[in-house]
Amino acid sequence: MKRWVVGVDIGGTNLVVGLVPVAGGPAVALRTRATGPERGPEAAVADIVRMAEDAIGETLDREGGRREDVVGVGIGCPGPLDLERGVIIDTPNLGWRGFPVRRRIAEALALPAVLDNDANCATYGEWWQGAGRGTATMVGVTLGTGIGGGLIVHGRIVRGASGSAGELGHTTIDFTGRRCACGNYGCLEAYASGPNIAARAREGLEAGYRSVLTELVEGDLERITALTVYEALVLSDAYAHEVMTETAKILGAGIANVVNLINPEVVVVVGGVTRAGDHLFEPLRSEVRRRAFRSAVDACRIVPGQLPETAGVIGAAGIFLAERAGGA
Binding site for a copy of itself (CB under 8 A): 80, 135-137, 149, 151, 153-154, 156, 158-168, 170-176, 182-186, 249-250, 253, 256-258, 260-265, 290-293, 295-296, 298-300
**Distance in Å, CB of 97 to a copy of itself, minimum:** 15
Residue 101 contacts residue 41 (beta carbons within 8 Å): yes
**Distance in Å, CB of 152 to a copy of itself, minimum:** 10
Compare residues 125 and 166 and give the one whose CB is closer to a copy of itself: 166
Compare residues 59 and 171 and give the one whose CB is closer to a copy of itself: 171
Residue 21 contacts residue 88 (beta carbons within 8 Å): no
How many other C-beta atoms can be found within 10 angstroms of the C-beta atom of residue 87? 18
**Distance in Å, CB of 136 to a copy of itself, minimum:** 8
Length of the chain: 328
Compare residues 30 and 153 and give the one whose CB is closer to a copy of itself: 153
**Distance in Å, CB of 320 to a copy of itself, minimum:** 19
Q: Are strands 138-143 and 147-153 parallel, antiparallel or unpaired?
A: antiparallel
Compare residues 59 and 247 and give the one whose CB is closer to a copy of itself: 247
Compare residues 26 and 80 and give the one whose CB is closer to a copy of itself: 80
Compare residues 108 and 153 and give the one whose CB is closer to a copy of itself: 153
Distance CA 31, CA 54 (A): 9
Among residues 130, 126, 183, the alpha carbon closest in space to that of 149 is found at 126
**Distance in Å, CB of 119 to a copy of itself, minimum:** 12
Distances (CA, A) of 114 to 8, 21, 146, 213, 258: 10, 16, 23, 44, 27
**Distance in Å, CB of 30 to a copy of itself, minimum:** 32
**Distance in Å, CB of 253 to a copy of itself, minimum:** 4
**Distance in Å, CB of 56 to a copy of itself, minimum:** 33
Distance CA 310, CA 181 (A): 28
Compare residues 18 and 76 and give the one whose CB is closer to a copy of itself: 76
* DSSP state letters, 46-91: HHHHHHHHHHHHHHHHHH---GGGEEEEEEEE-S-EETTTTEEEEE
Angle at 314 between CA 312 and CA 315, to 5 degrees: 65
Compare residues 182 and 234 and give the one whose CB is closer to a copy of itself: 182
Distances (CA, A) of 186 to 26, 169, 176, 192, 267: 39, 10, 6, 11, 22
**Distance in Å, CB of 121 to a copy of itself, minimum:** 17
- Output DSSP code: residue 178: P
Rg (CA), the chain: 20
Compare residues 236 and 295 and give the one whose CB is closer to a copy of itself: 295
266-290 burial: b if 16+ Cβ within 10 Å, else e: bbbbbbebbbbeebbbebbbebbbe
Q: What sign results for the dihedral spanned by CA atoms 248, 250, 253, 256?
A: negative
